[in-house]
Amino acid sequence: MKKMLLGVAVFLGVVALAVAPAAAGNPIVVKVGHVNPPGDPSYDAWDVFKKLLEEKSGGKFKVDLYPSGQLGEERELIEQAKMGSVDLVTVNSAPLSLHFPKFDLFVLPYLFRDEPHLQRFVDGPVGQKMADEFEKATNIKLMAYWANGVRHTFLPKKAITGPDDFKGVKVRVMNNEVYIGLFNALGAMPTPMAYGEVYTALSTGVIDAAENDTAGYLAMKFYEPAKYFSMTNHVVAVKIALANPAFLKKIPSDLRPVFDQVTLETRDWQRKRYAEKQAKDIEWMKANKVHVNEVKDLAAFQAKVKPLWAKYAPKIGQELIDQAVATK
């Protein structure tokens, strides 16, 4: 009997330590994965998150960061967040559409006018509803919508001035149906490829072009193999912060408000940093012999790709597209 009681006591002690690590003096370890390299606003934002969370919790959280794709590409990070081998991740919306097709809304070309337009949409009731539906569909918690820049096109040998310049051009794209459709509509040859392979592919001629925002272009030093940067503005992108639900449940109730507040503060910091950096990026590029082409006739591009809105409306939802357009 004594042995049985002793065994129960030991078991309860282990459980208590497991469910309340912070109370026992052991910090809650937060494992974070993302693909962004140093110099990218999202890389810096996770550093801010770590500093704020550890300080504001009085050391009750310990944030371990795994940047630059150390834990894998974005599709792998999504699966890890779902399974719980990583607690928090940020990823582009494009690979998430495989799990939640409505997120293809965020890669419809020329749907959002600019980043403030996109952010007003995602911060409103429709964006929150999408977050709730995403969690039900995937069992992954959407914590915040981050900025992800405006996507442009860069090439080693020439600028893009009009849609016809894309004919026959092999462009690296994310492995996403809408992205592939976008460049097919422009007459290009869209080529899905892992992000970490793009620099070498541009350098060796495996691809003729790639597309990204200014932050990604500079952080990955794509200006070395591809000095022609054309501001095609084809997608106003969003990055999405995700959390494993089991991780969130183990946060003690007295610490959850701190965690949630830091999550929002980090989102706001990241958005502000992105907006400031894009203007500075263009200045740096011009000063460092990058041929920056501010495309004048975007309407010609829009006319080529606008049919994609109707094509993907059954998948995304026409009402959702209309709500995005109607957001002021």
Q: What pLDDT is attached to residue 15? A: 40
What dihedral do alpha carbons 88, 94, 95, 99 form, nearest 10°?
90
We report the CATH number of the domain holding residue 260 as 3.40.190.170
CA 292/CA 283 separation, integer angstroms: 10
Place of tokens 């020439």: 158
Note the pLDDT tens digit of each residue in 7-48: 444 444 444 444 444 445 799 999 999 999 998 999 999 999
Which amino acid, one-letter code, is at 21? P
316 is in which domain, residue-wise? 2-326
- Number of structural domains (the chain) is 1
Structure tokens given for 183: 């460049």
Q: What pLDDT is attached to residue 24? A: 52
Question: What is the mean predicted confidence (pLDDT) over 115-128?
Answer: 98
Note the pLDDT tens digit of each residue in 239-257: 999 999 999 999 999 999 9
Element containing residue 127 per DSSP (H, E) = helix 125-138
Find the distance separating the first CA and the last CA of the chain, reported in whole Å: 71
Contact between 154 and 228 under an 8 Å Cβ cutoff? The reply is yes
Note the pLDDT tens digit of each residue in 244-298: 999 999 999 999 999 999 999 999 999 999 999 998 999 999 999 999 999 999 9
DSSP-based three-state secondary structure for 209? strand
In the chain, beta strands by DSSP E:
28-33, 61-66, 88-92, 141-155, 170-173, 189-192, 210-212, 228-243, 291-293
Q: What pLDDT is attached to residue 35? A: 94
pTM score above 0.85:
yes
| Pick from 18-22, 140-144, 145-149, 206-210: least confident | 18-22
CA 42/CA 254 separation, integer angstroms: 28
